[in-house]
Amino acid sequence: MQANSSAPIVRFENVTKSFGELTVLRQLDFDVAPAEKVTIVGPSGSGKTTILRVLMTLEKPNDGVIWVNGEPLWHQKSGDKLVPASEKHLRKVRGSIGMVFQHFNLFPHMTALRNVTEAPIHVLKMPKGDAEQRAVELLQKVGLSDKLGHYPSQLSGGQKQRVAIARALAMRPKVMLFDEVTSALDPELVGEVLNVIRELAEEGEMAMLLVTHEMGFAREVSDRVVFFDKGRVVEQGPPEQIFGSPQNERTKAFFNAVLRH
Amino acid sequence: MPNEDHLLVKIRNYAFLVIGLLAIGIAIGVELTVNPPETAPFDLLPILLRGLAVTIELTLLGAALALVVAIVAGVARSSGHIIVRTITGFYVEVFRGTSILVQLFWIFFVLPLPPFNLSLTPLQAGVLALGLNVGAYGAEVVRGAIGAIPSGQIEASIALNMSPGLMMRRVIIPQAMVRILPPFGNLLIELLKATSLVSLITLSDVTFQGLALRQSVGRTTEVFLLILVIYFLLAYPLTLGVRWLERQRQWAT
Ligand SMILES: Nc1ncnc2c1ncn2[C@@H]1O[C@H](COP(=O)(O)OP(=O)(O)OP(=O)(O)O)[C@@H](O)[C@H]1O
Ligand SMILES: [Mg+2]
């Protein structure tokens, strides 16, 4: 699982994001290589979710450029200048990114199967039969082949989150974002979701950007761990280095506090 | 526990029906003793029923217009576009803030005059007034239901790269429908009752026929009693329908 050294699939260039007075991302520079598995850790409120949300186009950055697969995400080229992106451009570039949310956000009025087929049929214009076949495969992969016809309200939290993962995978993203996807789950259901993500990581071809408090899991699946604080990358490197022998004082203090919990 | 609730609801539903019918029965009884008619009041019925077709036609056409207006204006009021939102906001506030009778008179008596020069038949005017008035209330219901959709649903739709239109059609509106239907049923009942106002612009609905009958044959109490019963019998099935809808929540736990 060595990080690819070719052009990055995601590049944050000087990205700043503020909410009113509060600056959450400060001139952030940050790359993700194709197929790389990156975990972002850091104190609460440090801006981890915000990184994922500007990349998913759920929040608009105030400054800087985000590149996805060589194309600007929030901008488009006009001559050799970058101008704000049209909805069309945004949708084209956004197609490479998928996201799994802390609170699942499944569509409650659709069965598990329809949750997974909905966007492939109506966004990718896939034939219904193909989309269903693929959805069945994906739901099988996350261990839910017996729940195809169930509505979200009939599923446990862990099952819902696995449907949400299948739903995101159905769009074949090149980069998948996971924002604390197990923190709304009962402890006994965390494992089944982590197992699915671990398998995806082992398959390897998709880049993954994870925010998690599961340090053991992060150590296991990540190619790189990024310690993030006050809107900036404080320290990053292979998991053994960041967890084993952090150099920065803030990183050390953070892990001491986390591990003492 | 849920069973008990269910039973209570059932009893309450029937209680309303029983009390309603009892009240009507007592009124008829009192009327017949105080004022014994030569013939039973039912000889008046055929004439009143002639108005029934007009009342039903108005209700159906008015409801169809109100439904379209409510959805369009409700979605427009939830729009991110400030001009669209302001214009529909103005419409909703004007039509909720003035009386339907005044609106009816405007549409029927003022619109034909300059500068509008727009003459409508009484039926068109009635349908337009009912549709626009009830549609304004319906738009608020739609807006409220759309606003109650959790932001996570919108974020998931964006993450799946849906266009705003697709999101509206396939994610937001279907979920909003569950909240919309019961209040829409109530608005339909309001609309049915409001149709009686069109008798004032010469449309011969049930109320109009009743007023005409009272002028020609007198027997005021009998006429109005029958009118009351007719409207109640029209509205009550709708009330039951709304209660049934409120109980149908397949996926919403
Ligand atoms: N829409 C918003 N409006 C205003 N402030 C916001 C908004 N979203 C996030 N913030 C603020 O930005 C800061 C960073 O938030 P963010 O959610 O990115 O942190 P986080 O690192 O994910 O924290 P946590 O570990 O608690 O999830 C926080 O102080 C938060 O209150
Ligand atoms: Mg967060």
| pLDDT of amino acid A2 | 45
Q: Are residues B175 and B94 in the same domain?
A: yes
Q: What is the pLDDT of residues B39-59, one digit of tens each?
A: 556 677 888 888 888 889 999
Pocket of ligand 1 (CB under 6 A): A 19, 22, 24, 42, 44-50
| pLDDT of amino acid B219 | 80
Interface contact flag, A101 B156, Cβ < 8 Å: yes
Instruction: Write the CA distances from A62 to A54, A59, B245, integer angstroms.
Output: 10, 9, 47
A184 touches chain B (CB under 8 A): no
| pLDDT of amino acid A4 | 46
Give the dihedral of Cα atoms B52, B56, B57, B60; nearest 10 deg: 180
Q: Are residues B59 and B106 in the same domain?
A: yes
pLDDT interval class at B246 (50, 70, 90): confident
Domain with B221, as residue range(s), is: 1-51+205-253
Q: Are residues B68 and B6 in the same domain?
A: no
Q: Are residues B169 and B190 in the same domain?
A: yes
Q: Are residues B110 and B233 in the same domain?
A: no
| pLDDT of amino acid A255 | 84
CA–CA dist A158, A142 (Å, integer): 10
pLDDT interval class at B31 (50, 70, 90): low
Among B165, B187, B203, identify where a domain stops. Answer: B203
| pLDDT of amino acid B79 | 78
Q: Are residues B15 and B126 in the same domain?
A: no
The stretches of chain A forming alpha helices (DSSP H) are 48-55, 87-94, 112-122, 128-141, 157-169, 187-203, 215-221, 239, 249-260
CA–CA dist A157, A155 (Å, integer): 7
How are beta strands A207-211 and A175-179 bridged, if at all?
parallel
Q: Are residues B115 and B219 in the same domain?
A: no
Q: Are residues B106 and B161 in the same domain?
A: yes
Interface contact flag, A119 B152, Cβ < 8 Å: no
Q: Is-contact A214 A222, C-beta < 8 A? A: no
Q: Are residues B34 and B129 in the same domain?
A: no
| pLDDT of amino acid A256 | 83
Residue B150: cis peptide before it, omega within 30 degrees of 0:
no
Please state the φ and ψ torsions of residue B71, each to the nearest 5 degrees.
-70, -45
A172 touches chain B (CB under 8 A): no
Q: Where does residue A15 fall: left (phi above 0), alpha (psi -120 to 50 degrees), or beta otherwise?
A: beta
Q: What is the pLDDT of residues B101-150, one digit of tens each?
A: 999 999 999 988 888 888 888 889 999 999 999 999 999 999 999 889 99
Domain count, chain B: 2
Half-sphere exposure of residue A40: CA atoms within 13 angstroms, side-chain side: 26
| pLDDT of amino acid A55 | 96
**Minimal CA–CA distance to A177: which of A66, A88, A83?**
A66
Among B183, B203, B223, identify where a domain stops. Answer: B203
Q: Are residues B30 and B122 in the same domain?
A: no
ipTM rounded to 2 decimals: 0.93
Residue B28 or residue A201, greater confidence? A201
Q: Are residues B168 and B224 in the same domain?
A: no
pTM: 0.79
| pLDDT of amino acid B2 | 45
Q: Which residues of A touch B162 (CB under 8 A)?
A: 119, 122-123
Low-confidence residues of chain A, pLDDT below 50?
1-4
Q: Are residues B64 and B177 in the same domain?
A: yes
Q: Is-contact B195 B126, C-beta < 8 A? A: yes
CATH of the domain at B136: 1.10.3720.10
